[in-house]
Structure 1
């Protein structure tokens, strides 16, 4: 079984009168590990948020195949460090339907602990989330995205602020999920990493500038910087 194909059909988006996306059309194949690259302000994160139903847009975004659960790792989490929430509280808030103040069920706690272990932060569940380093927070966000295991995994620069060991761990985990059939859409600025991990790539700067195999990305470097 594979995750869904994702189709972007003539997707446009404006923010405050500024054209952020202009008639964006491309297809992510079912079960692909696909990277979305381009310059800062080019619309990558806006496109991801439109995909997740978080931003209004024109055009059509649709799935072919099983699209749920969806896992999502945002680029940044707007979080007040003074809020007294533990890592377990954050995991409960982000991964379950029942109110977080009720706590997690035993099975949910076990799944959350396993996800934290898979992202290299086992045993930190009782620590205040606000006390974590940037790299640790990114690992927790990745853990919540894979609990429960998704069929579509959307990553917005998940290795930003993580050390080299953490980068390799994230790459290995994503590769493992991909091998199990998960469709991965990864917003990425690191072209070396893109060449290393991706099957296919879309270069976007308001509109699609290139869409094709990852080994052809060098031909569009001037559009990415």
Structure 2
């Protein structure tokens, strides 16, 4: 029986900014139906990796595929949730309008969002637990609420692969748990989630697969197999004097 194609994969992917190497020959395959956390120290290239895969950054070498095909062939199967800092939160629009923007990809250039699209947006807001904020101006939201709006906008696209850059950045405990519930629900539906993550303490709770990255892939696979003290030590360049740093490993 043939195994399904990876939800996303890279081959020999290298990226540099102003001649400074950021990623070196990254080979990575994310199986379908998992929550994959991409973790590593600051400057490890985590966000650059997903941006290069999605064509938002031009790589020096290598290529990426999604479900065994180029991104252009399966673009509607891939949803991207960027960091919330990339948005002008002072722009005068409502939460419902922002989430409804997620339906634009299926509407084409001519059609405008109608009742059906707004109903889908409300359903996505309900899943993230903020339906009551639908008419709120986005500038009035807290950090956690903003992240849930971003997540709802991605959900309304109904992709098969969700790629999220720091979805837990700047969120409160309530929003954090709401986001985790959505991620695990997506996995239960057979969807695939890739998150850039920074908190080693929650990797085991949030993810079932993990990629340890520091400009190159140190290890990638099921959490129980690769989230080890040795791999964390290598990825984070931990010295013997920092043994407490490894308490989250198996």
TM norm. shorter chain > 0.5? yes
CA distance in 2, matches of 1:82, 1:171: 27
1:119 equivalent to 2:128? Answer yes
1:79 equivalent to 2:87? Answer yes
Return closer, same or farther for 1:202/1:129 CA change in 2, 3 Å cut-off: same
2:198 aligns with one of 186, 189, 195: 189
Flag the structure with higher helix content.
2
Query: Which segment drifts farther, 49-58 or 63-72?
Result: 63-72
- The structure with the larger Rg is 2
Q: What's the offset of the Cα at 1:84?
A: 1.3
Return closer, same or farther for 1:155/1:99 CA change in 2, 3 Å cut-off: same
Return closer, same or farther for 1:108/1:4 CA change in 2, 3 Å cut-off: farther
Flag the structure with higher strand content.
1
C-alpha contact (below 8 Å) 2:14/2:25 kept by paired residues: yes
Under a length normalisation based on structure 1, what TM-score does the superposition of the two structures give?
0.90
Can you give the 5+ residue segments of structure 1 that lack an aligned partner in the other structure?
none
1:91 equivalent to 2:99? Answer yes
Return closer, same or farther for 1:170/1:81 CA change in 2, 3 Å cut-off: closer
| 1:1-225 equivalence runs, <5 A | 4-57=6-59, 58-64=61-67, 67=74, 68-97=76-105, 98=107, 104-215=113-224, 216-219=226-229, 220-222=231-233, 223-224=235-236
Query: Which segment drifts farther, 121-130 or 212-221?
Result: 212-221
RMSD: 2.3
Greater RCO, CA 8 A, separation 6+: 1
Return closer, same or farther for 1:78/1:200 CA change in 2, 3 Å cut-off: closer
C-alpha contact (below 8 Å) 1:201/1:211 kept by paired residues: yes
- How many residue pairs get aligned? The number is 224
